[in-house]
Amino acid sequence: MLDVVILAAGQGSRMKSDLPKVLHPVGGIPMVQHVINAVDELADRIILVVGHGQADVRQALDGQSLTFVEQTEQLGTGHALAQALPELSPGGTTLMLYGDGPLIERADIEALVAAGREGHYALLTAQLEDPTGYGRVSRENGRPVSVVEQKDATPEQLNIQEINTGLLCAPTDSFARYLPALSSDNAQGEYYVTDCLAMAVAAGQTTQAVVTVNPDSILGANDRVQLAELEGLYQRRERERLMRAGATLIDPARVSIQGQVQTGRDCVIHPDVQFFGQVTLGDRVTLGQGVILTDSTIASDTEIQPYCVLQRARVEQGADIGPFARLRPGAVMEAGSKAGNFVEIKNATLKAGAKANHLSYVGDATVGERANLGAGTITCNYDGANKSHTEIGADAFVGSNSALVAPVRLAPGVTVGAGSTITRDVEQGLGLTRAKQIEIPGYRRPTKD
Ligand code: UD1
Ligand code: MG
């Protein structure tokens, strides 16, 4: 039985924010959510210790199987963990982490949990060039024996470069024994969970320090400068993940990933592409410069040319989009369909092979297979009160600069003459509302008085 306790009660006053610190996003995902994701598969139970801004924290994490424990006063990390004691399963193992450390590595967590399950009192440590601010780890005969906080350390202890990351794992029964015995007799007047280490040594329990595989991964964010550093590290990690999955990033530093992105093989991602939310790319997808994708799915062999904006859109195989196209929620582009420059599609389906190549608005519409919408075709879907649907049959051809006033239907194969305003269904042949062309011989232009 592995119980995971995530401390998330602190205020994070240096963030100068109304948002609780653990909800500040890294890569578009709240920091505490990253921590939850990192332990989700290992944990039998996840317990969050909440305090400051707890209503927001509970709401942001709603719908996940989490147990919340309240710490009404922030009296220190030992006090925080003690609040979770009644929820822990006797005889099991407890892992403690911080809600503001979003970059933690799974390998570290696994090593720490393995040590805890073997009965050790185990902590995750890091070797830092500059250990300032962290608790220092003292070892004897290779085993960690105490953690001393910066504010309580002797000058000699301040020279130690091995620091306490804060992550801990031990048999639950040892926490049940040590936590109630903590005192707050120290420089900060807090109950330090770190004092449990010395208690473990005194009780004859074996202790173990697991040194992190990646010192960057243990960083937390205390202010927005550090938050930006975490963001930078996270972006680098995510870009590398995409590259390892088979995507070419032409200039990796100029791709931003805010959310959960999956890419296939041989995708090519040009500079200034931004991802938000859940985005999935198939194989051989090319994203041109400045493409912005939010909560969208792009199937294989699709090219999205520069400066397109897609939100909640679904694009099927071999579609061709842009440059400068906008796909709004509910846009569906079926296989081989085309949306060219300055085309906006909303809640509409372009069926296989359908085309809107230039300057169109296609909203609340179905465009049949191979139908062609000429430049400037507009579906007039809104009468000021209600939205109505436009149905365009397969192989229909709509001449340029036509307005289709919904609700309206074009039967399969019909033609609409350029410049028409279509208010009634077109059942067959040619629909045309254009005024007749006249010619005035000898016409004179006005001249200035
Ligand atoms: C702690 C460790 C220190 C370690 C450092 C790593 C202690 C005494 N010290 O120090 O050895 O090097 O982390 O970053 O544990 N929290 C609560 N309730 C509280 C106090 C804290 O939920 O009453 C939460 C905070 O929100 C934060 C985490 O616990 O997420 C760490 O607390 P913080 O005050 O930042 O501890 P440090 O002084 O940095
Ligand atoms: Mg801290």
CATH number at residue 326: 2.160.10.10
Residues 141 and 185 in one domain: yes
Q: Mean pLDDT over residues 292-313, rounded?
A: 98
Q: Mean pLDDT over residues 385-400, rounded?
A: 98
Instruction: State how far the Cα of 141 lies from the Cα of 123, in Å rounded to an integer.
Output: 16
Helix (H, G, I), strand (E, B) or coil at 26: strand
CA 222 to ligand 2 centroid distance, Å: 7
Joined tokens for residue 205: 């329990």
Instruction: Confirm whether 224 is domain-assigned.
Output: no
- What pLDDT was estimated at residue 377? 98
Q: Which parts of 133-185 are beta strand (E)? A: 136-140, 143-148, 162-171
Identify the band that residue 189 occupies on the pLDDT scale cut at 50, 70 and 90.
Answer: very high
User: In whole angstroms, what separates CA 18 from the centre of its chain?
Assistant: 21
Residues 209 and 255 in one domain: no
Q: Mean pLDDT over residues 379-387, rounded?
A: 96
Instruction: State how far the Cα of 36 lies from the Cα of 68, in Å rounded to an integer.
Output: 13
**Cis ω before 446 (30° cut-off from 0):** no
**Torsions phi, psi of 378, nearest 5?**
-125, 130
Instruction: Confirm whether 91 is domain-assigned.
Output: yes
Q: Mean pLDDT over residues 1-14, rounded?
A: 94
CATH number of domain containing 186: 3.90.550.10
Structural domain count of the chain: 2
Ligand nearest to the CA of 149: 1
Q: Mean pLDDT over residues 65-84, rounded?
A: 97
Identify the band that residue 238 occupies on the pLDDT scale cut at 50, 70 and 90.
Answer: very high
Residues 52 and 155 in one domain: yes
Catalytic residues: 358
Q: Mean pLDDT over residues 385-397, rounded?
A: 98
Residues 38 and 107 in one domain: yes
Instruction: State how far the Cα of 403 lies from the Cα of 357, in Å rounded to an integer.
Output: 16
Ligand nearest to the CA of 168: 1
Residues 166 and 273 in one domain: no
Q: Mean pLDDT over residues 72-89, rounded?
A: 97
Identify the band that residue 375 occupies on the pLDDT scale cut at 50, 70 and 90.
Answer: very high
pLDDT tens readout for residues 149-169: 999 999 999 999 999 999 999
pLDDT tens readout for residues 91-141: 999 999 999 999 999 999 999 999 999 999 999 999 999 999 999 999 999
Instruction: State how far the Cα of 170 lies from the Cα of 316, in Å rounded to an integer.
Output: 50
For residue 71, give the ligand 1 atom closest to its CA: 18
Q: Global pTM? A: 0.93
CA 209 to ligand 1 centroid distance, Å: 18
pLDDT tens readout for residues 242-259: 999 999 999 999 999 999
CA 100 to ligand 1 centroid distance, Å: 10
Instruction: Confirm whether 294 is domain-assigned.
Output: yes
pLDDT surpassing 90 at residue 11: no
Ligand 1 binding pocket, CB closer than 6 Å: 7-10, 49, 71, 74-77, 79-80, 98-100, 134-135, 147, 149, 163-166, 192-194, 220
Instruction: State how far the Cα of 209 lies from the Cα of 115, in Å rounded to an integer.
Output: 9
pLDDT surpassing 90 at residue 370: yes
Mutate to test the pocket of ligand 1, among 81, 98, 137, 223 (most ligand atoms within 8 A of CB): 98
Residues 297 and 394 in one domain: yes
For residue 51, give the ligand 1 atom closest to its CA: 22
**Among candidate residues 218, 233, 267, the one where a domain is terminated:** 218
Identify the band that residue 358 occupies on the pLDDT scale cut at 50, 70 and 90.
Answer: very high
The full DSSP string for 391-422 is: EE-TT-EE-TT-EEESSEEE-TT-EE-TT-EE
Residues 399 and 287 in one domain: yes
pLDDT surpassing 90 at residue 261: yes
Residue 272: which domain range? 241-431
pLDDT tens readout for residues 129-147: 999 999 999 999 999 999 9
Mean per-residue pLDDT over the chain, rounded: 97
Instruction: Confirm whether 446 is domain-assigned.
Output: no
Instruction: Confirm whether 186 is domain-assigned.
Output: yes
CA 193 to ligand 1 centroid distance, Å: 9
Residues 78 and 208 in one domain: yes
Instruction: Return the biggest CA–CA distance within the chain.
Output: 112
Instruction: Confirm whether 147 is domain-assigned.
Output: yes
Residues 303 and 396 in one domain: yes
Residues 156 and 289 in one domain: no
Residues 362 and 311 in one domain: yes
CA 21 to ligand 2 centroid distance, Å: 11
Q: Closest residue (by CA) to atom 26 of ligand 1?
A: 10
Residues 183 and 299 in one domain: no
Instruction: Confirm whether 437 is domain-assigned.
Output: no
User: In whole angstroms, what separates CA 271 from the centre of its chain?
Assistant: 19
Instruction: Confirm whether 351 is domain-assigned.
Output: yes
